[in-house]
Amino acid sequence: MSVKEFAFCPYCGVKLTGNPQTCPNCHRKLPEDDKTTGSRSSLNHLISNPYREGLQRYREEKKTGTENSSASFWKRLFKHW
């Protein structure tokens, strides 16, 4: 695996030169590039539709949401009195 080529350290922000394994300033190990999921994850990102997925989650939560959610605020408030 190769180390991602950052222009700056993601932790402290110091400028990096070459392809170091650790940051010369903060001495933290730089994140490694995972080539096995790189192309697949980018393909999934292009295909996915976050609006549609969020809308599906919203509808599912609404189905299993609070009981009697169609009742007005005041009816739900005074239900227990």
Q: Which residue has the higher pLDDT, 56 or 41?
A: 56
**Amino acid letter, residue 18:** G
Domain range summary for the chain, segments of one domain joined by +: 1-31
**CA-closest candidate to residue 24, choices 10, 42, 9:** 9
DSSP conformation letters of 12-65: T--B--S--SB-TTT-PBPPBP-HHHHHHHHHHHHH--HHHHHHHHHHHHHHTS
d(CA 72, CA 46): 41
Convert the pLDDT of each residue in 16-28 to its tens digit.
Answer: 888 888 989 999 8
State residue 68's pLDDT score.
52
Place of tokens 């009742």: 71
Most confident of 25-29, 30-34, 40-44: 25-29
Q: What is the pTM of this model?
A: 0.35
Contacting residues for 28 by C-beta, under 8 A, at least 6 apart: 9, 11, 12, 22
